[in-house]
Copies of this chain bind each other. A is one copy, B any other.
Amino acid sequence: MTKKALAIDVGGTKIYSAVIDENGVIISDIEKNPTPKTFAEIKSLFETIINKHEKDVDVIAFSTCGAVNNENNHILGSTGNIAKGYPDMPFKELSQKPVFVENDANCAAWAEYKIGASKGSKVSVMLTLGTGVGGGIIIDNQLLKGQNGAAGEMHFKMYSDKRRKCTCGSWDCFEIYASGKGLKITAEEVSHNPDITTYDVIEGVQNNDRQMIEIFDKWQNDITNGIIGLSNIFDPDCVVLSGSMAQFVDTQKIQDNANKEIITTPVEVKKAVAGNYSGMIGAALLTFEKGAI
């Protein structure tokens, strides 16, 4: 009989859950809840979801914001805009069944690698372009986790002379240029309009507005520059772009421009195809493959 996972995707604003089989197919309704404001309410929501499905599944698979340790049972440090105590969530104690936890960008990267855009890739880098930028790197069938599990943070500098403060507290990280927030800041800088939105830019590009095209090209060029550096470091065969902002980019243009400067070997740049629930799918597939705690 095929194994089943209850997958729970925990973001700063929404918590998704569904039952997923060994092929990465969602075989239940997808439940969506707003992320509660406090640790206790989040824990209580997890318990409600788990109680409902626990008897029907083999494992509980969490895809979560925040870096996750190498034992896949604990969150390391801060996780941005979610309840302060959330990193202390005792995931293991939430269920009688085995529980497995991994970072959401890593889970989404794994979903693309198993059933999506980077399927069968030897070395792939996934960049999740949303409000921030997430990273998931897979080398020879292993997620790059690092000494403690926190690897894949896309905070390398695009400038060395302190131009933009990053959300991480440092300056000029890739995230604060290549993210949706980065696009807004670039738009503000170019247009001198503090109220301009990313939506204004996207709409302007569609309407052939010259300044909006200039802003968008600047942003896309920042993404390209980051991909050049990552490609020289990893020599990947595939770079996958996912997240809410990825739909707008021209992957062919990024690929062509990046390959003009990459000195290792040419890379393919692709959009993610595993969909909005790739975090849940990747968490389930990782759990089946790596074994749950």
Contacts and interface: CB of A to CB of B under 8 A. Distances in A.
A137 B160 CA distance: 23
Contacts of A235: 145-153
Contacts of A144: 139, 234
A228 interface: yes
A76 B264 CA distance: 9
A265 interface: yes
A160 B223 CA distance: 11
Interface string A148-178: 1111111111111100000011100100010
A122 interface: yes
**Stoichiometry (number of copies):** 2
Nearest to A168: B263
A264 B168 contact: no
A27 interface: no
Given A122-B147, A139-B139, A156 B228 contact: yes
A233 B233 contact: yes
A233 B123 contact: no
Nearest to A146: B235
Contacts of A229: 155-157, 229
A160 B222 contact: yes
Contact of A170 (B156, B228, B230): B228
A257 B198 CA distance: 34
Contacts of A150: 235, 263-265
Interface of A: 67, 76, 122-123, 135, 137, 139-140, 142, 144-161, 168-170, 173, 177, 221-222, 225, 228-230, 232-237, 261, 263-265
Given A122-B146, A156-B230, 10 more contacts: A76-B265, A146-B235, A146-B265, A147-B265, A151-B235, A153-B235, A155-B232, A159-B159, A168-B263, A229-B229
